[in-house]
Amino acid sequence: MRGSLWLDLIRRTRERLSEPLLWFPFPALIAFGLVIVLRGQLLSGFNHRLGTQADVVHLMATPLDNTGIWISVYQDKDQLVVVTDDHSRFSWPLGTRDMKDLKPFIAYLNKRTEATAFKTTLALETEKNRTRAVLAVDQKLKYIHIRPILFALVEAKISNYGFETRMVR
């Protein structure tokens, strides 16, 4: 009697183990997918100033609440590199006089100002500084390097701009 129960249990276990179990990777895949989603949410929330190479001027300044469009400007070899707060990257030759090089950057600025205007219109509010541009310019650059960026701001109808400084305590 005992032997037949024992043999019956072994036979059922053997039958159960001989069938392939195809569901076993799904809990691991669900956990892996949740980790990827949570990591994406955390990494997008980091400060947009991380990873830029612009060394801004150190001055006494007051912090602003509403920054607007943040633009980092620095030199990389013989290229002038512009990185925005949403990590869009634009570059053109350092001593350019041809405004064709600025067309993608001007189109980007136009799209950003239109999107901001649309959002404020939907919210039924007016913001004085809704199209302010904040330029984080590297100290090594000269005014002649910044002039094309100022021209692009004018083309995008952004008349309110300022320069970012690192606050000295």
Secondary structure (H, E, C), 33-88: HHHHHHHHHHHHCCCCCCCCCCCCCEECCCCCCCCCEEEEEEEECCEEEEEECCCC
**Percent of the chain having pLDDT more than 70?**
84
- Is the pLDDT at 156 greater than 80? The verdict is yes
Tell me the average pLDDT across 133-140. 88
Tell me the average pLDDT across 90-114. 89
Longest dimension (CA), the chain: 98
Question: How confident is residue 67, by pLDDT bands cut at 50, 70 and 90?
Answer: low
- Is the pLDDT at 165 greater than 90? The verdict is no
Report CA 93 to chain centroid distance, whole Å.
24
Q: What is the pLDDT of residues 39-49, one digit of tens each?
A: 776 665 566 66
In this prediction, residue 26 carries a pLDDT of: 82
The residue with greater pLDDT, 129 or 138, is 138
DSSP string computed for 12-34:
HHHHHHHS---STHHHHHHHHHH
In this prediction, residue 6 carries a pLDDT of: 85
Distance CA 109, CA 156 (A): 6
Question: How confident is residue 153, by pLDDT bands cut at 50, 70 and 90?
Answer: very high
Distance CA 42, CA 21 (A): 35
Question: How confident is residue 14, by pLDDT bands cut at 50, 70 and 90?
Answer: confident
On the 0-12 / 13-18 / 19+ scale of CB atoms within 10 A, 105 is: buried
- Is the pLDDT at 25 greater than 90? The verdict is no
Q: Which of 136, 140, 123 is nearest to 167 (CA)?
A: 136
Q: Which of helix, strand or coil describes residue 6?
A: helix
In this prediction, residue 65 carries a pLDDT of: 67
Question: How confident is residue 108, by pLDDT bands cut at 50, 70 and 90?
Answer: very high
pTM given for the model? 0.66
In this prediction, residue 38 carries a pLDDT of: 79
Question: How confident is residue 157, by pLDDT bands cut at 50, 70 and 90?
Answer: confident
Distance CA 26, CA 52 (A): 40
